[in-house]
Chains A and B, each alone.
Chain A
Amino acid sequence: MTILTNKADKIDRLAELTQSSEAVTGTSLWREAFRRMRSSKMAIIGAAIIAAFVLVAIVGPMLAPHGPTAQNWRSEVFPNQGKFVGMRGENWFGLDHLGRDMFSRWLVGARQTLLVGVVSMLIGLIIGAAVGILSGAAATLGGKVGQRVDTVIMRVTDIMLSLPSLLLAVSIAAVLGQSLTTVMIAVGVVQIPIFARLLRGSMLVQGGADYVLAAKAVGIRRKRIVLTQILPNSLSPVIVQATLSLATAIIEAAALSYLGLGNPDPAVPEWGVMLSQAQRFFDNEPMMAAYPAIGIIITALGFTLLGEAMREALDPKLRG
């Protein structure tokens, strides 16, 4: 137990999951996990939600009956008065305060939300993984100098982990200004230390395995050992974390939008932005906020369910 434990501990616990069940079952870790996941309700529901969401995000905007900024002034729309035209024939979700078709905006918003989630997760994953590989490789095969490098890198990630993630994102977003890119970078950067620590941890676990010793003994170059032996075997916790991160990313992006740091462009509505705009009218027209909110909640739930199911499927402690 050192300070800064919680997040770090959780990450380390996940990292240990690479200790595969090969010795026990003889089948590969992932095949075994997949078999277990097929019988898990959580995994199936999660996967179904994600599939539906991705489908809506890809196909939806093409099928949207109206443009996301097309306004309809004919009817009972009063700009900015919070008058909301409820569901009716051509406008399934009604019109918003500016007379725009909510359903079309919701469909386009699905794509933006997926984009924000995936890109920010990838920012965290790619940079974090690079840092993690460096740190993990240095620690396992780098000798004394390597261990020092590893210590320094891990200290820095510890510091980043010691900050509440939303506040870190806010401070980044505050510097970069209001835009979609800002949200993605801010949410992504927050994930970097998580992925770094995770991959390093699972590489350390793998680094002590017999096959690494064998590879060293037959004289394979260190770089090659890291890239072809240790790394592929260390990836499973990273995949679990990536799934869970998608949920966090979507929620945090919404929070940033609420704090006024989201994408201001009305042509690319994102659920978080839609939700924070609908906030003003909530007391009179709660449905306006409900559509994007339900979108966010269900999607985040889908990724969380799948991620948790994968974690459980990979955890040897729960096997039996």
Chain B
Amino acid sequence: MLRLVVRRLLQLIPTLLGLSVLLFLWLNRLPGGPASAILGERATEAEVARINRALGLDEPVHVQYWRFLKRIFELDLGTSVQTGQPVWDEFTRAFPATVELSVAAILIAVVLGIPMGYLAAKHRGGWLDVASVSGSLLGICIPVFFLAVLLRGIFSVQLQWFPSQGRLDSGLNATDVTGFAVLDGLLTGEFDASWNAIMHLILPAVALASIPLAVIVRMTRASVLEVLGEDYIRTAESKGLDKRVVRGRHVLRNALLPVITAVGLLTGSLLSGAVLTESVFDFGGLGSFIRTAIDGRDYPVLVGFILFIAMVYVIINLLVDLAYSIIDPRVRVH
């Protein structure tokens, strides 16, 4: 197990290094370079030269890259052009909201998706199957932001069942402990705050869950179908095992392997989806933050964000691989 972890960690190095090279080149190839991104288009040459010197952009490329890398290791992702705050601080402040939203979305997707996929496979060709397959196709084809706007329009503006924006009602005086609104309420005993946060979470999470849900339903269905056709299922059934045992130990356990991988790796698409949903609901996480950065062409924030997301993504990949090796002992050997 330890060897596996170490090997996976070592494999991360070339990926992250490559990524840092790409981002470094990208940052340096900005039209007019970072100087004019900071100063705007009307900058004079003297000003550009001053900024370039200040940022060390007049030095050889490899020196610049080395410094770029060193800064990343020190978790110094630069300063936001718009707010003047260090990018890293802004991220760590906004990240809990995004995590909370993503976790809620994944929960919805898994809790609904796996049973739906399983039932669809079990009753292949029936109405449930047709409904869940076409539903999941539709789920992939609806632009996430439109779904978010639609849900908000129907359930918070028209029906007023849910709040339409933010993470907590503004009048609510909730104590901030971890940055996770729901958890904070539970920790401090302010259950009304938790409940309030959950109500705020539901609509964005449902919108965000649409794509993962669609993917999970389809994967579970395909995977269960494949397993149901295996010889060992016939064997298990013909030796008279209890149906529940066959279902739990033989079908689900084998069928869920690829689904688990998919769930973990859906994080990437979740994070992009979060950018869109959060800005519809003004949720205040990384997504809302990035939306402002895009509008303001805040390059340090964008570069930092991509690097940050890539790191998160890669780490989740690692965790998924490890989870996989616990469930499927065959993987461990290699």
Q: Show the binding face of A for B, using Cβ within 8 Å.
A: 1-7, 9, 155-156, 158-160, 162-168, 170-171, 174-175, 177, 247, 251, 254-255, 258-261, 272, 275-276, 279, 282-283, 286, 289, 293, 296-297, 300-301, 304-305, 308
B42-50, B112-120, B140-148, B195-203: which lies at the interface: B140-148
The range of chain B's interface size is 35 or more
Residue in B15, B137, B153, B271 whose CB lies within 8 Å of A3: B15
B294-A304 in contact (CB<8A): no
Known: A5-B265, A156-B18. A305 touches B153 (CB 8 A): no
A162-B271 in contact (CB<8A): no
Closest chain B CB from A177 CB (angstroms)? 8
A-chain residues with CB within 8 Å of residue B137 when the two chains form the complex: 301, 304-305, 308
B295-A260 in contact (CB<8A): yes
Q: Mark B265-283, 1 if CB is under 8 A from A, else 0.
A: 1101101110110010000
Q: Mark B147-174, 1 if CB is under 8 A from A, else 0.
A: 0011001000100000000000000000
A162-B314 in contact (CB<8A): yes
B18-A159 in contact (CB<8A): yes
CA distance A259 to B331 in the complex (A): 41
> Which residue of A is nearest B225, CB measured?
A318
B-chain residues with CB within 8 Å of residue A1 when the two chains form the complex: 321, 324, 331, 334
CA distance A4 to B313 in the complex (A): 9
- Number of residue pairs spanning A and B whose beta carbons lie under 8 angstroms apart: 141
Interface of B is mostly: helix
Known contacts A168-B306, A297-B143; 19 further A-B pairs (Cβ under 8 A): A1-B331, A2-B11, A3-B8, A3-B11, A3-B321, A162-B19, A163-B309, A163-B310, A164-B271, A164-B313, A167-B309, A171-B303, A174-B299, A175-B29, A175-B30, A175-B31, A283-B157, A297-B141, A301-B137
A-chain residues with CB within 8 Å of residue B18 when the two chains form the complex: 155-156, 159
Known: A5-B265, A163-B313, A174-B302. A297 touches B142 (CB 8 A): yes
Residue in A4, A255, A283 whose CB lies within 8 Å of B145: A255
A259-B275 in contact (CB<8A): yes
> Which residue of B is nearest A172, CB measured?
B26
A166-B272 in contact (CB<8A): yes
CA distance A148 to B153 in the complex (A): 54
Check if B297 is an interface residue, CB within 8 A of chain A: yes
CA distance A1 to B333 in the complex (A): 12
Check if B317 is an interface residue, CB within 8 A of chain A: yes
B-chain residues with CB within 8 Å of residue A251 when the two chains form the complex: 141, 143
CA distance A119 to B25 in the complex (A): 26
B-chain residues with CB within 8 Å of residue A7 when the two chains form the complex: 265
CA distance A155 to B303 in the complex (A): 21
Residue in A163, A260, A272 whose CB lies within 8 Å of B306: A163
CA distance A272 to B146 in the complex (A): 10
Q: Mark B292-334, 1 if CB is under 8 A from A, else 0.
A: 0011010100110110011001100110010010000001001
Closest chain A CB from B189 CB (angstroms)? 37
A167-B143 in contact (CB<8A): no
A-chain residues with CB within 8 Å of residue B334 when the two chains form the complex: 1
Closest chain B CB from A213 CB (angstroms)? 29
Residue in A5, A163, A167, A276 whose CB lies within 8 Å of B261: A5
